[in-house]
Amino acid sequence: MSKKKSIEKEKKNFDFVTELDQIFIIGKGVSALKTPEQKPEKAEYWGANDIFKLPKRDIDRIFIMRDLYVTEQNKGKGMVEELNKLDKPVYTLGLYPELKNNVQYPIKEVIGEYSDTYDRAYFLNTASYMLALAIMLKPKKICLFGVDMSFGSRTEYMRNEKACLEHWIGMAIGRDIDIQLTPESTLMKRQGYENYYGMKLNKPDKDHPHDPVTLSPKFIQGKGGKCAKKYELVHGSLVKDI
């Protein structure tokens, strides 16, 4: 029996787990090292490309959305052999006989979940494919580690890929899935600005740690309008004027 047929014979079915509390999507950014070493109960770790090499983390599913041969060339020769030593599914857009546990990413089902037309699909990087699929499993929470979209990275990240991931984060929030981002991540942030256009976010300082978080409209030269001057925020919700 040829090596190719032998590998195909060994392929397994890896069903998705439903009713998960958390899915961790792990990329290669600096915050990947902050992924908990002890995996929480009812959680899975999904890793992009060669993140399976991350020490002391048990990656459940591996996603390689770019051509396998190009990815191996970029990440280092021998990656296919390393993947075949793992008893983990490796999701790709096409199927590769070299991979023992290769699973084809369900692109048709994913596109159909969110739209009735192909031209509304929005997948600009591996993490976006992972997010879209994770949302379909309806976990209580999706945690992003190493998906930092650093401000110092190349233009493609900031102008295109960052917006793509924020689109899928919005999809998750709209389906009542909690999202956890790391402090290193630029997702849902604008460099040098707060997230409230026309308003100032006032946070407690170290001398007054129990003060409420407030929002106040920004008025030019102190000129105020008739709207409430400040709003107190509790758990991220507007609750009252103060």
Q: How many CB atoms lie within 10 A of CB 95?
A: 14
pLDDT per residue over 81-112, tens digit each? Answer: 999 999 899 999 999 999 999 999 999 999 99
Can you give the pLDDT at residue 234?
Answer: 55
Tell me the C-alpha distance between 84 and 79, whole Å: 9
Question: Which residues, 6+ apart, have CB-to-CB distance to 98 below 8 Å?
Answer: 4, 7, 68, 80, 84
Residue that wins the pLDDT comparison between 2 and 71: 71
Residue 6 has pLDDT above 80, yes or no: no
> Which residues form the domain of 75?
3-181
Same domain, 137 and 221: no
Is residue 186 in a domain?
Answer: no
Tokens linked to 153: 């990275």
Answer whether 127's CB lies under 8 Å from 162's CB. Answer: no
Residue matched to tokens 């991350």: 54
Residue 27 has pLDDT above 80, yes or no: yes
Residues in the chain: 242
From 131, 155, 181, the end of a domain falls on 181
Report field, pTM of the whole predicted structure over 0.85: no
Same domain, 172 and 213: no
pLDDT per residue over 132-164, tens digit each? Answer: 999 999 999 999 999 998 766 566 666 789 999
Same domain, 33 and 151: yes
Residue 193: burial class (beta carbons within 10 Å; 0-12, 13-18, 19+): exposed
Can you give the pLDDT at residue 122?
Answer: 92
Tell me the C-alpha distance between 19 and 55, whole Å: 27
Is residue 97 in a domain?
Answer: yes
Same domain, 80 and 129: yes
Is residue 192 in a domain?
Answer: no
Can you give the pLDDT at residue 11?
Answer: 46
Can you give the pLDDT at residue 150?
Answer: 79
Can you give the pLDDT at residue 13?
Answer: 60
* CATH number of 119's domain: 3.90.1480.10
The enclosing H or E element of 89 equals none
Map 196-228 to HEC letters: CCCEEEECCCCCCCCCCEEEEECCHHHCCCCCC
Q: Alpha helix locations (H) across the chain?
A: 3-10, 68-75, 79-85, 107-114, 126-136, 155-156, 162-174
Tell me the C-alpha distance between 13 and 104, whole Å: 11
pLDDT per residue over 42-84, tens digit each? Answer: 999 999 999 999 999 999 999 999 999 888 888 778 889 999 9
Query: In whole angstroms, what separates CA 108 from the centre of its chain?
Result: 21
Same domain, 46 and 160: yes
- List, in sequence order, every residue forming a beta bridge with 231; answer none if it has no partner: 215, 241
**pLDDT tier at 8, thresholds 50, 70, 90:** very low
Same domain, 146 and 210: no
Tell me the angle at which helices 107-114 and 126-136 cross, rounded to the nearest 10 degrees. Answer: 70
Tokens linked to 199: 């308003």
The total domain count for the chain is 2
Same domain, 148 and 204: no
Residue matched to tokens 């090292």: 33
Same domain, 91 and 157: yes
Same domain, 106 and 209: no
Tokens linked to 230: 């400040």
Reduced to 3 states (helix: H, G, I; strand: E, B; else coil), residue 166 is helix
pLDDT per residue over 186-241, tens digit each? Answer: 899 877 777 877 777 888 888 888 888 887 777 655 555 555 556 666 555 554 55
- Between CA 20 and CA 26, with CA 25 as vertex, the angle to 5 degrees is 140
